[in-house]
């Protein structure tokens, strides 16, 4: 399998389609290797919580 982001071959690729506040069921599917997947998830976390503020 090949990562759609970095184009490297990987034994595992992942994609989140639906999660709380996130729905990509109609979007073009992009599958990521574990490294690119984690970077993408980190970016989404920062976008949801700019400045790193907690709810406390």
Q: Output helix, strand, coil percentages for the chain, rounded to the nearest 5.
A: 30, 15, 55
Residue whose token pair is 């709810």: 55
Instruction: Tell me the per-residue pLDDT of 21-30, one tens digit each, with 9 for 90 and over.
Output: 889 999 999 9
Taking residues 4-16, report their average pLDDT.
97
How far apart CA 37 and CA 43 sit, in angstroms, is: 10
Cβ contacts of 1 within 8 Å, gap of 6 or more: 9, 10, 11, 12, 13, 31
Return mean pLDDT, the chain. Answer: 90
Q: Output the pTM of the full model.
A: 0.76
């Amino acid at each position: 399998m090949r990562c759609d982001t970095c184009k490297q071959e990987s034994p595992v690729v992942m994609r989140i389609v639906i999660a709380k506040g996130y729905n990509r069921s109609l979007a073009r599917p992009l599958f990521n290797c574990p490294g690119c997947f984690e970077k993408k998830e980190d970016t989404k976390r920062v976008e949801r919580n700019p400045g790193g503020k907690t709810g406390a």
